[in-house]
Every structure is written in C-alpha cells, then in structure tokens.
Amino acid sequence: MEQVMFAHQKTMQAVLSLVIGILVGPGFLLFSYSFKSVPGWYPVFFALAGSFLAYGAIFWNIGRMKRPLKWGSFLFSLVLSVIVTFALKGPQQHLAHQPFLINCLIYLATIVFLLFAMLLAIKILYSLTESRAEGDVPKRHILYFSILPLLISLLYFWAFYPGILMADSVNQWQQAHSTFYNDWHPAVMTWIIKLAARIWDTPASYVIFQFILTALITGYVFYVFEKLRIKKPVLWLGYAFFCFLPLIPLYSVVIWKDTLFSYFLLAFTVMLIQIIDSNGKWLRSFSHLLFLYLSVCGVIFYRHNGWPVLLATIVIFLFFLRKRYWYMYGVFALAVITFLIVTGPVYKHYKVFPADETESYSILYQQIGRIVKENGHITPAQRAVINQVMPIPDWKKYYQPTDVDRIKFTPHFDRAYIKSHKKAFFSTWFALCRQNPKLALEAFYDQEKLSWKLYISGEELRRPIFRNKDFEKYRPVYFMTQKNVQKYHVHYKWFYYKDYGSDLANTKLSSRITQINQTFSQGMLRVLMMPAFYLYLILLFLFTAILKGNWRFVLAAVPMFLNLGSMFAAIPAQDIRYFFPNFLLAVPFFFLATLTSRKRDSHG
C-alpha cells in the first residue's frame, strides 16, 4: 500500500512539474526570441528543461538543508533571478505589440524559470562534498594539468603566428624597440616584451612566454584543488571549461596586459584560498611566500588599477585576518615597497613618461557628452568650460553611448585644459549631473552595461568578442600628443606582420577557429561570452559556500570584487577583455562551493 501511494505521489509530482515546465519554459524562451525566429524543437526543449528544473527545485530532496537556510536560499535566488532577468533583457521587438498582461506573464515565467535553476544549483552544490581519498598530491601534477592548455595554446599560436597584436600591443612593441617608455600601458610589461625580444626579436617570443606561464598557472590551480580533494568529476568539469572555452586559449596568444593580469589575479586568489583554508599555516613555506609575492607583483604591475586593489585588500583584510597572518602582510608590504621603488626611482632613471591621468575620467566624459547631445540644462558658464575641453558641436558629433574613445581621441579634445583646470572641470561635471540627473544616469548605465548585462548587441561593443589579426600593418602608435612626440623626439617605425613570419601561420586552422568562435558570438551561446554571466555564477557559488559555513572563503574574492569596482568606476570602453578575470575566477569559486564546512577557531 505504501509503495502504491509513493508511486502515485511521484507521478503527481512529475505531472505537476511537467505542467509548470510547459508554462515557464516557453515563457523563458519568449523573453528573448519569438517562436518564429527559432527552430520548432526549441519550445519543446525549454518546456522539458523547465519541467526538470521545477521537479529538481521543488521535489528533489538532496542535502539536508535546515529550514532557515532554505528560506535564505529562496530569497537570495529570487533577488538574483530578478536581476538576471533584467540583465537578459534585449530589444524585445517581438513583444512590442503584445498586451501588457502577456508581457507581465512572460517576465514572470522568466523569473520563475531562473529561480528554479538557481535553487536546484544551490541544492546540488550544497549536497556535494570533497573526496574522502587521502594522500599527498605530487607536485608533478602541476605539469600534468599544464599539458592540455599548453597544447591548445600551441594550436592557436600556429593559427595566428606570431601572435595577435592590437593598437596597444603595437605601441608596446614599438616602445620595446626604442629608448622612450610611456606608462600609458604598464611599463613593466613593456620591459618584459623588450627582454623577450632580445632573446628572439619577434612578437612570438613574448607570446610563447605568456602561454607557457598561463598554462603553468592553470596547472597550479588544479593541483591546489586536487590537494583540497575536490571530487574528480567536479575537477574535470572545471578543467574542461579552462581548456575549451574559446576565449581562454585565444587570449593566451594576444599581446595585451589583460591576459597575464587576469592569471596573476587568479593565482593570487587561489593562494588566498589556501591561506584561509590552512588558517595561515600555508605561509610558513618560503617558496609559498615567494610565489605569493610574484603573483601580487603581477597584479600591481600589469594593470594600473592593480595598485589600488592591493591597498584596499590590505585594509579590508586587517579587519578579519590578523593573528597567524603576519607573513602575508609582510609579503604585501614588500610588494608595496617594490612598487614604490619601481614607479619612483626606476621610472625616473629610465625617464618613463607617466600615464595620462585623464584616462580615468571616461564616465565623466560620457555623462557630459550625453547631456550636451540631448540638449540638457547647461548654464552659459558651464557651456564655456565644456567648450574649452572640446567644441560643443564636436561633443554632439562624437558622443556614442558605449564608446568613449570617440570623444577622448578626437584631435580637438583638450586634455591639457582638463589637467590645468581640474577644479573648474569637476565642478562643472558635478553641477551638470545635478541639473540633469536622468541624462547622467542614462550615460552611466550605457557605459557600464558590460559589467552586468547579459544581452549586449554587437553594435554596442567597442570591439568584437573574439579578436583576430585586425591589420597586416599598423602605423606608429604614440598615445601622446603630437607636441610631446616632437618635444621628446619620439620616433616609432611601422609594424608589419610579414616582417615576423606571419606567412608561417596556418590560415586553414585560423579560419576553422574563427568559425567555431562565431557560434559563440551569436544566438543563445553568446551569453557564455558575457562576463556578467560568470559574475552571477560567482555570486551563486560564494552564497553556497556561506550556506555551508565557509564564509571566510569570501575574503578570497575581495581582490576580484575590488577589481570589478575599479572597472565600474572608470571602465575605458565596452571591451570584454577588461572583465576577463570573471571567466577564470568562476572555476575556483565553483570548487569552493563544493567543499564541506571548514571549522575555525575564533581568533583571526
């Protein structure tokens, strides 16, 4: 009798889940696409997916989660699902002529679909534990885990030989072949390029150094989590993501600061996880301290915002980690001293031209541009200041909601005036925003889309998601005013790919890689290339870690969130590369969410 009742209950649960799935699954699909624009099996697939998520979220009893934690999971998932719903919102032209009630039901279906997905994900993660297998993990596993990323990078290297360069890359390559250094792009990276070029005078030398280092850091990350006894299926899932998400191996052969900055931040984060997990004991090894120092130096020297990230990290950590962690602060202090010496006496000795401070004012330019473009309220005195920075007609002509470069690289844009009249510029900007709050917020929203949106059209991105060789030759790139170019007698040569053996590149392979990448640049897979997707996953993983009692691990995410905050405050343009750390850091935080509670004493 009990078996019959149990079977009947299961049947009712399955039927109810199917009904819910039929309602919310196609509704979730309709949020972004009309049924006419997708294959006929799409609605069926999403109905079944909705049914599975509903059954898993409502009826699947895994992991003995206490009632307060269940309510906490529900509230967190509900809030995040609402945010993600609006992050997914695109033009929705197919809904423009639908009744208001239909639109509301589609929005509700989308929120519920995402809610079920998040609740089920939390359930699964909460139920996971580490492997019970004991025993030390040999250090040679670092090399084992490095092999596949290295081989895939070699394929990309062959396809895009001698590497992929952008305007920034060309500027640093040209600096490396001169005696004039400009810190617009980190001078330390330029010196490493120069050192690599002395060994072999081709961009390939730096690219080889870069992808070997990224492969070794990847190997180290998975070695660490194998030591923490992450279950093999979970470990291999994360490893497959690192190896086969197209953006990751592509970035290993692109010469720009963002690749190694992101990997140094990844290494730094994984070291913090070990420090926290061991309650400071990890710091007792000299080799550990050395690698921690090198990773911190990579963070602060490979991107300008890495320096404030370190300083803020130190201040925040002092509130939570004190006793047993002094070696860590010693490493931080040594990194601070190194930074001050390099950017002080060393920069002075090599006459490094400082980065333009006005580069960090991008959001301000965009807000002024929006207000001028939309004929907002501007007083005659404010108009005079704006006109000094750049003629009013040019503000209207060059303002573009998601690309500040059209403003700041216009010949008539006067950076010198901004630097010599800071008070007038900032007070004018502040007054304009106060007088035109709606326009100022709209400009900020448009400039920051990439940090939180899951739908961004190709037109809104400054550059394509996947970058190939955009040019065969490139003019000298100075990132200086013509006046300073002449004053300091700077002379760079044209860059020609053919001078460095680009004919050795495998064009068939590069064409095939480009075709594969195109499938991730459009349609539903495009969301996997949006950095905000991984930000929301990280939030879900960290929340699960907190549910399992591992709240201290959240401290390891502090540098990542500070980096995101710095981008949020001064993002230069809508470019995926500025948020590349999101892609890499999603994996270690995914692993953290599978660990059981780590009991700690009360003394930090």
User: 350 phi and psi, to 5 degrees?
Assistant: -90, 5
269: which 2 tokens?
């984060």
**Is the Cβ–Cβ distance between 55 and 17 less than 8 Å?**
yes
Strand, helix or coil for residue 33 = coil
Q: Tell me how far apart the alpha carbons of residues 163 and 251 are, in angstroms, rounded to a whole number.
A: 10
The CA distance from 247 to 52, in Å, is 30
pLDDT band at 599, cuts 50/70/90?
low
C-alpha angle 525-511-516 in degrees, rounded to nearest 5: 15
Ranking 121-135, 216-230, 236-250, 454-468 by mean pLDDT, the lowest is 454-468
Q: Are 257 and 186 in contact (CB under 8 A)?
A: yes
Smallest CA-to-CA distance from 32 within 530, 535, 524, 533 is with 524
294 burial class (0-12, 13-18, 19+ CB within 10 angstroms)?
middle
Cα distance between residue 454 and residue 561, in whole Å: 18
CA 464, CA 116: separation in Å to the nearest integer?
33
* Angle separating helix axes 167-176 and 187-199, nearest 10 degrees: 60
Question: Which pLDDT score is estimated for 602?
Answer: 40
- Give the pLDDT of residue 2: 60
Write out pLDDT tens, residues 203-231.
999 999 999 999 999 999 999 999 999 99
**End-to-end Cα, the chain, rounded Å:** 56
The residue-averaged pLDDT of 167-180 equals: 93
Whether cis (ω within 30° of 0) applies to the bond prior to 162 is yes
Structure-token pair, residue 539: 């939030």
Rounded CA-CA distance 27/19 in Å is: 13
Q: How confident is the model at residue 345 (pLDDT cuts 50, 70, 90)?
A: very high
DSSP 596: P
How far apart, in whole angstroms, are the C-alpha atoms of residue 11 and residue 526?
A: 37
User: Phi and psi (nearest 5°) for 505?
Assistant: -65, 145
Whole-number Å distance between alpha carbons of 541 and 591? 8
Report pLDDT digits (tens) over 534-548: 999 999 999 999 999
The span from the CA of 402 to the CA of 448, in Å, is 8
Rounded Cα–Cα distance for residues 458 and 521 (Å): 9
With 80 as the cut, is the pLDDT of residue 41 above it? yes
Q: What percent of the chain lies above the pLDDT cut of 70?
A: 97
pLDDT of residue 5: 65
In the predicted structure, residue 63 carries a pLDDT above the cut 70: no
Q: 2-6, 192-196, 381-385: which has the minimum mean pLDDT? A: 2-6
In this model, does residue 14 exceed pLDDT 90?
no
**Helices 257-277 & 286-302 angle (0-180, nearest 10):** 140
Predicted confidence (pLDDT) at residue 326 exceeds the cutoff of 90 = yes
- Tell the residue number behind the tokens 């090894």, with chain if given: 285
Burial class from Cβ neighbours inside 10 Å (0-12, 13-18, 19+) for residue 599 reads exposed
The yes-or-no verdict on residue 130 having pLDDT over 60 is yes
Residue 395: other Cβ atoms inside 10 A = 23
Strand partners, 474: 495
DSSP codes, 356-388: PGGGGGHHHHHHHHHHHHTT----HHHHHHHHH
Beta bridge mates, 473 = 496
Mean pLDDT of 407-421: 88
Whole-number Å distance between alpha carbons of 20 and 109: 9
Q: Report the SS3 class of residue 353.
A: strand
The CA distances from residue 331 to 286, 295, 325, 446, in Å, are: 11, 11, 10, 39
* Digit-coded pLDDT (tens) for 541-580: 999 999 999 999 999 999 999 999 988 877 777 789 999 9
**pTM as predicted:** 0.94
For the chain, count helices (H), then strands (E): 28, 4
Q: Are 510 and 160 in contact (CB under 8 A)?
A: yes
- Sign of the CA dihedral 340, 341, 343, 344? positive
User: What is the share, in percent, of the chain residues with pLDDT greater than 90?
Assistant: 75
Please report where in the chains the tokens 């900032």 appear, as a residue.
Answer: 426
Cα–Cα distance for residue pair 285/328, rounded to 1 Å: 11
Please choose, from the candidates 232, 252, 253, the residue with its C-alpha nearest in 3D space to the C-alpha of residue 242: 252
Using alpha carbons only, what angle is made at residue 495 by residues 493 and 497, rounded to the nearest 5 degrees? 155
- pLDDT at residue 147 in the model: 98
Read off the tokens for 47.
């109905």
Q: What contacts 343, CB < 8 A, 6 or more positions away?
A: none
Per-residue model confidence as pLDDT tens digits over 482-509 = 888 888 889 999 999 999 999 999 999 9
Query: What pLDDT does 200 receive?
Result: 97
Question: Which residues pair with residue 182 across a beta bridge?
Answer: 353
Distances (CA, A) of 312 to 316, 559, 577: 6, 8, 23
Reply yes or no on whether the pLDDT at 603 is more than 50.
no
d(CA 385, CA 387): 5
Instruction: Please spell the DSSP secondary structure of 303-318, one letter per residue.
Output: STTHHHHHHHHHHHHH
Per-residue pLDDT band for 481 (boundaries 50, 70, 90) equals: confident
The answer to which of 308-312, 370-374, 594-598 has the lowest mean pLDDT is 594-598
Burial class (CB in 10 A: 0-12, 13-18, 19+), 407: buried
Mean pLDDT value across the chain = 92
Copy the structure tokens of residue 453.
């949106």
C-alpha dihedral over 151, 156, 162, 167, to 10 degrees?
A: -130
Output 91 or 7, whichever has higher pLDDT. 91
Residue 413, pLDDT > 60, answer yes
> Can you tell me the distance from the alpha carbon of 216 to that of 196, in angstroms, rounded to the nearest whole number?
18
What is the per-residue pLDDT for 150? 98
Model confidence at 604, in pLDDT bands (50, 70, 90)? very low
